[in-house]
Amino acid sequence: MSDNSELASIIEETLKSIWPTGDASIRDYLTPMIATFAQSDCRDDHYLEELQSGDLSKVAARMWEAMLYVRFHGVGWAASNAGKGPDFLLNGNVYVEAVTAQPGNPDNGGLPKEWQEQAEGSACIVPIEAMLLRWTSVLKTKKDKHLKDIEGGRVDPNLPFVIAVNSCRLGGDTHGVGGVPLAAMAVLPFGNPTAHIDVQTGEAIGGWRLAWQDAILKHNGEPIPTDSFLHEEYSCVSALLGCSGFYVADADREKFCGQPPYYIVHNPMAKNPLPTPWLPNSIEFVVAKNEPGNLELACLPASAD
């Protein structure tokens, strides 16, 4: 492990390469979290190497690990890493795998070029379906990895498993549409708001409701499921945790343990379900009704520390 001065230099250079001098508040916010994690037993042997690699996808992933570590410790949980399997084992009884969704190549199914290159403050249509494809991609990858870890005896198949996704690099927010967060739209068949419109008045008859959408199309026309939490294949995943940022303003830090809001969607098919609610001061959802063509989410009362 590098000494404190070398570690501080690595973190400073890394964050300055992403956020210039004018964004010192973001650097000041992330620096202590990254330093705490880098000096812990949870980080792996490649942490500092990838943190200073200049590869934004790797740097984002490493910052997200640090945020999660500090968030878990902030509610009094012990986080460990045995060097195999998922990134974290919490209190010896919950696995958490961290991943950052990447925007991808616009010419090969990634987010549209105009969205990725938009100037701050400019108007652009939010590419919800393209974002969901990035979510579903990382979810499948991490689910498959966990099944291989189970098969290889690297993890206990009887412990809950959470996939934690940071979608900051996709832009936008974690809220999704119609009050349903993107985390839920990625694993449950919630589509865009629809309504029957009175052609005379232009009013919605019977109000708006979310369409049932159990798949979205890739650029090549292949349908990708968005209802994985209703299928046995994903029953090894206990919940999805989603976050859309690496920074939260001072005024909002008391709301969610000093970090951006964490959205948690519990899997109704989970073999190893989590307690509900699970993570204090997060926004958690469970499936309240699951009927053909009729799915309802319930937002759980907030759990305090």
DSSP character for 120?
T
CA-based angle 242:107:229, to the nearest 5?
30
Ordered by start, the domain boundaries in the chain are: 1-74, 75-299
d(CA 51, CA 60): 8
pLDDT tens for residues 39-92?
Answer: 999 999 899 999 999 999 999 999 999 999 999 999 999 999 867 789 999 999
pLDDT in tens, 200-222: 555 645 444 566 678 888 878 88
pLDDT at 115: 84
- pLDDT 10s per residue in the chain (305 long)? 447 899 999 999 999 998 877 678 899 999 999 999 999 999 998 999 999 999 999 999 999 999 999 999 999 999 998 677 899 999 999 999 999 999 998 888 889 888 887 755 555 677 888 999 999 999 999 999 999 999 999 999 999 999 999 999 998 666 666 678 889 999 999 865 544 454 455 564 544 456 667 888 887 888 899 999 999 999 999 999 999 999 998 888 888 899 999 999 999 999 999 999 999 999 999 999 888 778 888 899 876 55
Amino acid at 153: G
- Residues paired with 197 in a beta bridge: 204
Q: Cα-atom radius of gyration of the chain, to the nearest Å?
A: 20
Taking residue 24's Cβ as centre, other Cβ atoms within 10 Å add up to: 12
Closest CA to 70 of 248, 200, 290, 239: 248
Asked if 264 and 241 count as a contact pair (C-beta separation under 8 A), the reply is yes
Distance CA 282, CA 69 (A): 15
The answer to whether residues 168 and 244 touch, using CB atoms and an 8 Å cutoff, is: yes
Cα–Cα distance measured from residue 110 to residue 219, given in angstroms and rounded to the nearest whole number = 9
